[in-house]
Structure 1
Amino acid sequence: MKTKIAKLAASAALILGLSSPAWAAVELEWWDFLAGGDGVRMKALIQQFNEEHPDIRIQGTTLEWGAPYYTKVRTAVAVGQGPDIMTYHLSRLPLALEEGVLSPISDADLGKAGLSRDDFFPAAIEAATGPDGQLMAVPFDIHAIVAYYNKTALQGSKWLDGEGNLTGIGSVEDLTELLSWAKDKGFSDPLSFQTEGGGGVWRMFYTLFRQQGGEFLTDGEVLAGDNLAKAARAIQIMADWRGAGLIPEQASYEASVALFSGGKAILHTNGVWEVPTFKDQAAAGTLGFDWFANEIPQLLDQPATWADSHAFAIPNDANMTAETRDAVLTVIGWMEKHSLDWAGAGHIPAYKPTVESAEYQALEPNATYASLAEHAAFDPRSKIAGVASPAYDAVDNLIAPAIHGYLTADEAAAQMKEQLQALMN
């Protein structure tokens, strides 16, 4: 419909003797969930695209992150009122497949965008692919948690190497030693992260779980075999830190960030998206110490870090014209090739040529923690997992209470298995 209106406008322009190319622009409705620094950068990219493409006009709308966004997408696509292009978390892909809200993206589509599957990190492409091998979205980034740290406080200690990176942390015991040392130095909450529940606890739990080689789902079974014990161990590690006063009590997301920037935590685990926060504070002179960020250290059996991807998706709309779809593919290709600007938000671009560029390699701390793209542990491929999923509910109702002593780690893991397994049927 939007393309038809644009063509009618173009015809009217010719009749009236007007020549502005804006009359003939393909209008694309864009939805995203990007707020804060992410939102600022994406709006700037949209503006730049529009300036460079008088034949295509993106009309952007930002909606509320999480469950409200995906509910809106599901209901709008069902009645044919969805956008032409939207951002999507790849952790939500299994549910999207069940709901039928996404249009598959063929290799020919990628070619029209000037892209190929080989342009992307394998973990991101795998997360964007359905069980039949069909690509369902185009990854834009890999965003994971990293270890932010107070370089000033660690200066001269055995945990900082000559290049200013974390060192000597190869086990849970090593990290606990560092945190205990920091506690003795006056840091009230040595390791800060969101401990009240939600995303912060899930990301830390899943990192510790996957570093044991844990598999959350095996042939449709939640925490099968020894995976239940691995989940309990991950919970117990966090509970032990809390019991020793090494992580904060019931810290909200915002409070966990403030504990680090306020000098009460020597380490802070959070998403790469907080890089701009600390850069801005340092530039404004309000941080009070030098900081940096590294990949989460390997504390257990193998390197692994919770990760997700923002991706571009095309809603499943049988009435979308070929002209509109081609314009969408043009947008996707352009965004990927300008993903260095997106990296300024702390993200690792999923488009490998950007990460391999000299410009990205000069971008810090991004270039230092880019190695985590090889160790990215995406959420389980299931409708019960991913952003705003039942797995996140289990964090709030079971894992966070266990960290704070209201349940044992074994009880929390067993109840999580029972509750989530019931939803698999």
Structure 2
Amino acid sequence: MKYPSISNKLPILNRQNYIKQLKNNSLSVFNANDEFPRSGDQTFSFKQNADLFYLSGIDQEQTILLLYPDCPNPLYREVLFLRQTNDFIKVWEGYKYTKEQAQLASGINNIFWLEDFENILHSIVHYADYIYLNTNENNKYTDSIPYRDIRFIEQMRSKYPLHHYERAAPIMRNLRAIKSEIEISLTQKACSITRDAFLRVLKFVKPSVKEYEIEAEIIHEFIRQGATGHAYPPIIASGHNANILHYGDNNQQCKKGDVILFDFGAEYANYNADMSRAIPVNGKFTKRQKEVYNAVLHVMKEASKLLVDGITGKIYHEQVGELMTEQLINLKLLTLDDVKNQKSSYPAYKKYFMHGTSHHLGLDLHDFGGRYTPFANGNILTVEPGIYIPEEGLGIRLENNILITASGNIDLMADIPIETEEIEEIMNQ
């Protein structure tokens, strides 16, 4: 881990909140993510299961958390199982948690090695009435492989078929959407690292630079400041490439007169930032580029004001659509007749702004939150309107991360340059 230890107050509080939502006499199990094969004998870099990390603070593969608050044996009411290290692992892989370190990180006193899990589970499971198991219920995800949680469910149902099984995910969806002070500070750190990378880019970009050279500057700053790396594959899209929403080749030369659309963010301590910006390759926006840019910026600022406790995503996105429609008419990209004749299922503005405006942000880039649950104080949401004009070779997207609070929204990226004059000034210093 590149980041300093997180206070165990965070997982302790999270477990307390989770346990309150369980039915009486319930046992709950959370597994670490798989180590996914890459090629030959290599695996992809390990990424911890967000729910396990949320409840335990443990950032290590082959970990299991067992919670049984009503267990007749007090020793097994809160148990963490770890992969046991040895001299061979120390030489080839390096650091792994000791039991004492795991106790400090998680606030859990009872730590066992992974080889003890089956016996301990079997010794107590028959006394539980309900078993809560976890799956990935993020509505942007569809199962294509039998990942560890799915395999574990099959094993449990085979061994203990007469228990009442419950879903942990609905509880986690509600808990994870509301961020604690520690989570907000970690997200703010990820945003701050992202800011410094963008400032570095503003001073680096010039005509003829390659998109991947800019990507190298970004990851340099991320790693230099202790970020794990990118929160998601970075988009460095110059010119026409900006009209490919998930462009990822990052292999083209940036030409004078073009605009580069950036979408990148740092991951720090498993918490994510998500930022979009657009800058002129030669350090000066044209009149048309500035018009489109300022239209997007206007929508972003107004949309940020709409994010309040109690508003539903449906109403919010409809209101943002009205804001965007007005701007597209002003830019002469839409006419009043286009709007008059639009279909309710596909509004006219979708021709130039075809993606959503906001999503939850946290341990996952598209963080766990209810699609039909009204936004609430404590949510961190992106605000990312865009206008994409293929016929002009121009795409602008602007994105900041907004925390909803009872006393007014807080822009976690308020110190990242976004006004055209500020961007031009820094690029031409």
Same fold, TM-score > 0.5, yes or no? no
- TM-score under structure 1 length normalisation: 0.24
Larger Rg: 2
Say which structure is richer in helix: 1
- TM-score under structure 2 length normalisation: 0.24
